[in-house]
Amino acid sequence: MNTTQASTIAYTIACSNLINAGHETPTMREQCAMAPLDAVTWQAALILAGERKLLTSSQTKLAKATGEKTGHINRGLTLASADEAAPYLGRGWHACAGSTVACEAVCVGSKQGQGTLPSSAIARIGRSIVLACFRDRFMSLVIAELTRAERAAARKGWTLAFRTNVATDHWRLAGQLAAMFPGVMFYDYTAITSAVRADDGVVRVYSRKDGRTEKTLDMLRAGHGAAVVFDIPARSKGPLPATWYGFPVIDGDTDDLWPLRAPEGPFVVGLRVKGTRQQIADARRIGFSVAA
């Protein structure tokens, strides 16, 4: 344990002690006005106390996939992306082993939309602190929430779908949870080739990053799926190409449950480039997005 992580644990335990003593807990608005360390450790303590949830349901694509049309309830786990939690867990902490500078700059989990809000960042980092520093409690909480969500889906005659990594690439965590919930459809995007090949109950596609077109094609030729961001701004709602290097493309922006639409054999989950005008221009310049 490094000194940064030790300090974070001490602050979180201090907040937990205040909660246990009946101290009035801060609202998210109040947390947003705090010093960053105070805000995220209060969030971690509230999660440990069961007063804040771990699972995500309100993210746009997750919400779009929930309903009679898909027959699924779709949930996810949104943790701190890349090195976002490093100031609280130490310089070595990184949640996305296969990330690049370009993908971190346009990350839909932390650099776009609601993900840019201070409250969203506090929530993500608080969850990551619990995962990193209080793992046993983290696992018991996420298992309890998944159990409730699976039962809620069953009451409707639906299936629970779960994306462990909305903004991260903790692929082993996904496999561990999938082993505990064989009736849940686990799926993910990953930039780690060994994760795509893993036979652990999680359906994954390889996530193409800038400069990795050949590696992406290798994964497709080996029979795997791949996610590719095309230079078509999401706000334009322009059509995706039918194929990419001869491989069929399905629309990954329809909703997040691309496994329900995936054809047999290798395929591409096509995504339209998202972000501000500058982010879109940067994605094009660096090669994060590709020509349609």
Tokens of 18: 């205040």
Outline where DSSP puts E strands in the chain: 55-56, 72-77, 159-163, 185-190, 202-207, 225-233, 243-244, 247-251, 268-273
Count of residues making up the chain: 292
The span from the CA of 168 to the CA of 189, in Å, is: 9
CA 132 to chain centre: 16
SS3 235: helix
Beta-carbon count within 10 A of 4 CB? 17
SS3 232: strand
Q: Give the pLDDT score at 278.
A: 85
Domain segments of the chain as ranges: 3-286
> Which of 253, 257, 219, 220 has its CA nearest to residue 236?
253
Tokens of 91: 């310089």
- Bridge partners for 188 per DSSP: 204
The sign of the torsion formed by the CA atoms of 288, 55, 4, 46 equals: positive
Q: Decide: 271 and 230 in contact? Cβ < 8 Å.
A: yes
The angle formed by the CA atoms of residues 120, 9 and 140, to the nearest 5 degrees, is 70
> Which of 16, 138, 152 has its CA nearest to residue 77?
138
Helix 171-180 to helix 135-155 angle, to the nearest 10 degrees? 50
Q: Give the pLDDT score at 246.
A: 97
pLDDT tens-place values along the chain, 292 residues long? 799 999 999 999 999 999 999 999 999 999 999 999 999 999 999 999 999 999 988 777 888 888 888 899 999 999 999 899 999 999 889 998 887 776 776 666 655 556 567 999 999 999 999 999 999 999 999 999 999 999 999 999 999 999 999 999 999 999 999 999 999 999 999 999 999 999 999 999 999 988 789 999 999 999 999 999 999 988 888 899 999 999 999 999 999 999 999 999 999 999 998 888 888 888 888 888 898 8
